[in-house]
Structures are given as C-alpha cells and as structure tokens.
Structure 1
Amino acid sequence: MADDLPLPVLERLRAVDWGDDAAAYEHANSRALLMREYLRRTAGWARAYRAEESWPFFDIAEHVAPEVRTPSEVAAELEAVLTGLAPSSLKKTCRGAVRWAVLRGTGGELPRDLPDDPYEPLLLMYERGGGYFVEEFIDLNGAMLRLGTVESNLSARPFPTLAPATLDALDAEGEITYFAKVGEVDPRAGGPRGIVRRRVDDGRTYDEAFAPNLRWEPTDCLRLNELGHNEADHVGITEIEAAASIELAVVRTA
C-alpha cells in the first residue's frame, strides 16, 4: 500500500473551516441533502455488516476489514486536525473517512451492491460549512434533520448528485418548491424541458427559472400558468428530482 493513499482525505479535512457559520447558512440546502445521502449510504453498510448499533457516525472499515489500520504517522496528523472539534461522533467520521481511504487503497474487493463511497457526501458537507451537532435533531447550523432509523434511511431516495455546480444551484434562502415544465419528456424520468422554483423569503415570493447560463433568472411562467395564460403546464417535483435535472444541464453545458 502506498503511503500517500489516505493523504488526499486528510488534506481535505485539514482545509475545512469548521467555524464558518456564514458558509453553513449559505449552503444549508445542499448540506442537508448531503447529510441525508450520507445517512442513506451508511445505513446500507450498517445493515450489511450488522452494525446498526454503531450507525450512523461510525468507522465502517472497522466492521468491513478490522485488520486494516491507518498508518501511525497519518493518524497522528489527523488527531492534530481534530483537536478541539466536537462532537465526538464528528471526529469518529473523520477517522473513519481516512481509514476508508486506506482500505480502498489495499485493492481488496468490496461488496458491489453497496454504495461505493459512503463518506464522500459527508466530506462534501464538511467542506461546505463545517460540522454538525446532534440533540433531538441533527443540527447543521442552518438546517435541521431528523436522524431517522437504519430502516427509514435505507428506503430514502438516493441523491447521487454531488457536483459542486449542482449543489450551488440548490442553495438559496427561503422556503423553496420546485416545478418541471411538462412537455414531451416525463419530468420524473430526469429530462424535463425546464426547471422552475418558487422561493418564499420574508413574506415575498420569487419565481425563478434555471437558465442556460446555469443561473436562476426571474420568470413569470408560474404566475401566467396560474392565470391560464401559459400553454405549458408545470408539475411539482422534489429537490432531488430537480437536482438530477440541474446536473443534466450542467453536464450539457460543460
């Protein structure tokens, strides 16, 4: 095993600004989606290795291949990064992510029917505004999530959309509802003709369409549709469905 295999993960953790409250609020929506995806992915590993009692913030490699350890020098550097951080479960996930990188680097075969990279959503969430606290809910410092159970998270819809541009497009202030323009393609099949959102923030309503320039621009289409003046209809979709369509647009523009 090469000595540098876990180092990219260690450097990502070293670069996190754990006290950036402004970033946490700015990226509240995407951070919540990333945490949900982490819970879903790790629920699969917990069920497969009978580690439900350790879920959700745990060292997966400990259950998959306990003989694989993080090199001592890397572990020492990681502990320096984690000094002063809380809660203890956050530190456990960071150690788990580094050890997972070590395990992946051994070249051993892992189950193909389980999520390929269980820690990636959580690493991305950390990079978009720091950590979390757990009380009655998971507090992401800008969003609150119910933890749920292994079973409920196993049945959650996957959120495989992890591209930064897509995550950025999901972040906005206010209560957001997404709509897809009904056309020749079923919006729930991942290919609507257009994505529109309605934001309600401080009592004001903003209707915005995701434009070809990959930005949200003001639109009257929802209001015209409500007045019966718009030929195209719109159907409500989930934020995960909206994310999939946004990512398609990002890929087409690249």
Structure 2
Amino acid sequence: MNVEPSRSVLRRLRTIDWSDEDAAWRHENSRALLMREYLRRAALWADHCGAERSWPFFDLAEHVDAAARIPDGIAAELDEVLRGVGPSSVRTTCRAAVRWAVLRTGSPAGPLPDLPDPYEPLLALYERGGGFFVEEFIDLGGAMVRFGTVESNLAARPFLTLAPATLDALDAEGEITYYAKIDGNRPRSSPRGVVRRRVDEGRTYDEAFTRDLRWEPTEYLRLYALGHNDIDHVEITETEAAAFIESLSAGPPVPGPWNGTR
C-alpha cells in the first residue's frame, strides 16, 4: 500500500494552529467560501453513495469502501495530532480526509467516480484559521454559514479556485460588492477587469485587481457615476471574481484592453 497520500494529509494537519482566532477572522471570507464548497462536494458524494442521512460531516470512505483503513502507524500519529481538537465533527472530517487518501491510491471496490475531492476545501479551511463549531449555523469564528440541505447544496454554484493566493485576494474587511468591467467583446465570463467596493465602518473603498496581482485604489466607479461610462460593468459573485483573479494569477495576462485602476 502506498501510504504517502495519507501521510501528506497528516503533515498538513500537523501544521494547523487550531486556536488561531486572528487567522479565522482575517480569512473569514475565504473560509466561508471553502465551507460552502465542502457542503456542495459532500452533497455530491452523499447523493452518489446514498449517504444523505450522514451528510454533511461524515466519513465518506465508509460509504465507498468500508474495508479501507488508515495504516496503523499513521493512525497512531493521527490520534496524537487530533488530541484536544474539537468538536467531534472536526475530528471526524480530519480522520476521514486521511482515510480518503488511502482510497485515492486504489480501492478493491473499483475506481472512484469522477467527482471532486470531498475534503480538500475543508483542509484548506482548517489551514486558514482552524476548525468550526456546529450550532443552528456553522460557526467559523468570523463567519456563519447555513447548512442548507443536500438538495440545495447540489444546486449550489461550484467554487473551484482553491489556490492560496486567490483565497487571500478575497479576504478583506467590510461589506464587499464585486463588479466585472465588460463591453461587447468581453462578457462577464471574461471581463476586461474586476473592481470591488468595500464599505467598512462607514467608509467606502473602491479597488481594482491589477496585473500586479493585488487590489489597488480605483476611481472607476466614482467616475462612472459621474457619467464617464465608456466602459460598462455588472455586479458579479465572489465565485466569478475568484475565477478572474485565478486566471490573472496563472498567466498569461488576460488579453484585450486593460484599464488598470482607472
């Protein structure tokens, strides 16, 4: 058995500071997006395996190949890593992620279906500020996320951009609205640029994501309101903004005219 995938997940769990409340607040936007994506992926797998009653924080391997086991040596180390970590839903999903890595190396039950990795969003969430608490909502220590249902999460928009740099770009204080700059040749799915308006403690900040891969102040929205509207815009979701940021970060540069921070 190839134990490296399981050990790789274990190494990631070792690095997590489960009590880093500052990180949880600093990354509240991205952690909320990651939790919603986990709920969506868990719903996909639960629907596929007939495990709807176990959703959302469950050991998926038990429903795919119950014979899959974490290697003894890794299991002992995992017990040590998770000592004192709570609540039980966090411990369950950490163990499940390590066990799932066993299945990724091959299962007697046959090849896995073509569905996204169920636990990667949760691992990324844990790395950005620790775990969560389950009450009426999912409390991320800075953001609250509704559970929804398996059915509602199956219909949710995918959030596939899990790169740390992209997630960092989505984290900021205040109420945020994103806009795509569009024209006849550049629709919202491939915009000329993305700007955002943040309102924090009564102050408004307009920012554009630039080719320098950072948010910089922009006059675009103010000038547009004054009638300088040669370039139009449309409100977009965080997921759409993330896709643009990731495409720009991955390079090559987005083709077509570039408006910078103007």
Report the TM-score range of the alignment, normalised by the length of the smaller protein. Answer: over 0.9
Deviation at 1:193, TM superposition (A): 0.3
Task: Please tell me whether the aligned partners of residues 178 and 242 of structure 1 are also in contact (alpha carbons under 8 angstroms).
Answer: yes
Question: What SS does the corresponding residue of 2:245 show, helix, strand or coil?
Answer: helix
Task: Write the distance in 2 (CA, Å) between the matches of 1:35 and 1:155.
Answer: 15
Segment drifting more, 244-253 vs 87-96? 244-253
Q: Take 1:143 and 1:83, find their aligned partners in 2: how far apart are those partners? A: 25
Report the counterpart of residue 80 of structure 2 in structure 1.
80
1:185 aligns with 2:189: no
Q: CA separation of 1:236/1:164 partners in 2, compared to 1, >3 Å: closer, same or farther?
A: same
Q: CA deviation at 1:76?
A: 1.2
Structure 2 spans left out of the alignment, 5+ residues: 254-262
Deviation by residue 1:97-122 (Cα, 9 ceiling, x = unmatched): 0000011112641112x22x110010
Tell me, yes or no, if the aligned pair for 2:16 and 2:126 is still in contact at 8 Å: yes
- In 1, Cα distance between equivalents of 2:83 and 2:9: 17
The CA distance in 2 between the partners of 1:209 and 1:94, in whole Å, is 37
Q: 1:111, 1:5 → 2: CA distance?
A: 18
What are the residue-to-residue correspondences of 1:213-252 with 2, within 5 Å?
A: 213-252=212-251
Letter in 2 for 1:181: K
**Contact 1:222–1:234 under 8 Å retained in 2:** no
2:166 partner letter: T
| Residue in structure 1 matched with residue 157 of structure 2 by the alignment | 157
- Distance apart, 1:53 and its partner CA: 1.1
In structure 1, distance between residues paired with 2:209 and 2:3: 44
Taking the aligned partners of 2:26 and 2:94, their CA distance within structure 1 comes to: 23
For residues 137 and 186 of structure 1, the distance between their equivalents in structure 2, rounded to whole angstroms, comes to 36
Counterpart of 2:141?
141
Structure 2 length-normalised TM:
0.93
- For residue 5 of structure 1, report the CA deviation from its aligned partner: 3.1
1:29 aligns with 2:29: yes
Q: How many pairs are equivalent? A: 250
Partner of 1:194: 193
CA distance in 1: counterparts of 2:19 and 2:90, whole angstroms = 14
| Structure 2 counterpart of 1:204, one-letter code | R
CA distance in 2, matches of 1:62, 1:133: 23
Could you tell me whether the CA contact under 8 Å between 1:166 and 1:243 is conserved in 2?
yes
Identify the residue that residue 207 of structure 2 maps to in structure 1: 208
One-letter amino acid matched to 2:31:
R
Task: Find the counterpart in structure 2 of residue 109 from structure 1.
Answer: 111
How far apart, in 2, do the equivalents of 1:92 and 1:177 lie?
35
Classify the secondary structure of the residue corresponding to 1:8: helix
Q: CA deviation at 1:3?
A: 3.2
Secondary structure of the 1:243 match is helix
Mark the runs of 5 or more structure 1 residues left unpaired by the alignment.
none
Q: Which residue of 1 aligns with 2:120?
A: 120
The CA distance in 2 between the partners of 1:217 and 1:3, in whole Å, is 45
> Aligned equivalents of 1:12 and 1:3: distance in 2?
15
Q: Contact 2:61–2:103 at 8 Å: present in 1 too?
A: yes
Q: In structure 2, the residue corresponding to 1:197 is in which secondary structure? A: strand
TM-score of the pair, normalised by structure 1: 0.96
Equivalent position amino acid for 2:155 in 1: S
Partner of 2:260: none
Deviation at 1:253, TM superposition (A): 5.4
Q: Which residue of 1 aligns with 2:256?
A: none
Identify the residue that residue 174 of structure 1 maps to in structure 2. 174
Runs of 4+ in 1 over 4 A off after TM superposition: none
- Contact 1:199/1:206 (8 A) holds in 2: yes
Any residues of structure 2 matched to 1:4-43 within 5 Å, and which? Answer: 4-43=4-43
Moved more, 99-108 or 25-34: 99-108
